[in-house]
Structure 1
Amino acid sequence: MIRAICKDMAILSRKSVPATREDVQVLDDLLDTLRANADGCVGLAANMIGVNKRIIAFSIGPVNIGMINPVITKRNRPYDTEEGCLSLEGVRQTKRYESIEVEFLDRNFKQHKQIFTDFTAQIIQHEVDHCEGIII
C-alpha cells in the first residue's frame, strides 16, 4: 500500500525499534511508496511512513531492495556531501562514507552481510540514520 510521507519531527526523531516477522507488510508498504515516489526519491525508512520499525527500502537503478534491521558494521573513506529528503525541505550538509558494510535481514529473515559503495552506500547511510532518529 502506498503511504503518505511523514514530516512530523517528533516521529522522525525517535529511534526505531527492531522489526519482527509480523512487520513484513511494512516493508511491502515501503517498497510500494518508494515506487510511487520514484521520480524524486531513492530511499525510505519506515518512520518516513509513520512506522517506528527498523526497516528501509532503496533503489539501485530499476531494482528496489528492502532491508530489515540494518546495521552498519564498517565505514571507510569519509566525505562531506549535501542531501535532500522527502520528509524535509531543501538540502543539508552531512558526512558520509564511500564504503560501508551492512548486516541485515531480507524479507524472509535470512541474515546477510554485504559491502556497498558510492551512491548506494550514501542512500543506505541516510536511511539507517532515519532508523536512529537522526535527521540530516
Structure 2
Amino acid sequence: MIQPINRDQAILSTKSVDATPMDLQIVTDLLDTLKAHQEECVGMAANMIGQTKRIIVVQMGIMPVAMINPKITKKIGPSPKSEGCLSLDGQRTVTRYHSITVKYLDQQFKPHTQQFTDFIAQIIQHEVDHCDGVLICTFSL
C-alpha cells in the first residue's frame, strides 16, 4: 500500500532496528510507495514511511530491489555528490563512495553480499544512512 512520506525529523533521526520476516508488509509498502514517486525518487528507507526498520528499496534500472538489514562492509573512492531527499527540502553536498560492498537479505531472507558502483552505490549509501538515523548534510572530504 502506498504510504505518505514522513518528514518528521525525530523519526528520520532515529536509528532503525533489524527487520524480521514479520516486517514483509513494510517491504511491500516501500516498493509501492517508491513506484508512486518514481518520477522524483530512486530509493527509499522504511523510516521515510514512518517505520524504523532496516529496510531499503533501490531502483536498479527497471527493477526495484529490496534490501533487508543492509550493512555496508567496504567503501572505496570518496567524492562529493549533490543529493536531495523526499523527506527534506533542497539539495545538499555529501561525501559518497564510488564503490561499496553490501551485505543484505532479500525478500526471502536469503543472504547476499554484492558490490555496487557509481549511482546505485550512491543511492544505497543514502538509504543506509537513513537506516542509521543520518540525514543528508554537508560533509567535507
TM range (shorter): over 0.9
* CA-based RMSD: 0.4
- Secondary structure in 2 matching 1:135: coil
Aligned position for 2:98:
98
Q: CA deviation at 1:44?
A: 0.2
Aligned position for 1:24:
24
Q: CA deviation at 1:60?
A: 1.2
Q: Aligned equivalents of 2:100 and 2:129: distance in 1?
A: 13
Query: Which one-letter code corresponds to 2:60 in the other structure?
Result: I
- Runs of 4+ in structure 1 over 4 Å off: none
Q: Aligned equivalents of 2:63 and 2:111: distance in 1?
A: 20
Aligned position for 1:47:
47
Percent identity for Structure 1 against Structure 2? 59
Alignment gaps of 5+ in structure 1: none
Aligned position for 1:15:
15
Query: Which one-letter code corresponds to 1:115 in the other structure?
Result: Q
Aligned position for 2:35:
35
- Mapping for residues 1-136 of structure 1, pairs under 5 Å: 1-136=1-136
Q: Compute the TM-score of the two structures, normalised by the length of structure 1.
A: 0.99
Query: Which one-letter code corresponds to 1:47 in the other structure?
Result: N
Offset from partner CA, 1:34-64 (integer Å, 9 cap, x none): 0000000000000000001000001012110
Q: CA deviation at 1:106?
A: 0.3
Q: Aligned equivalents of 1:81 and 1:33: distance in 2?
A: 25
Query: Which one-letter code corresponds to 2:3 in the other structure?
Result: R
Q: Compute the TM-score of the two structures, normalised by the length of structure 2.
A: 0.96
Q: CA deviation at 1:4?
A: 0.3
Q: Aligned equivalents of 1:60 and 1:70: distance in 2?
A: 16
- Secondary structure in 2 matching 1:119: helix
Query: Which one-letter code corresponds to 1:9 in the other structure?
Result: Q
- Secondary structure in 1 matching 2:120: helix
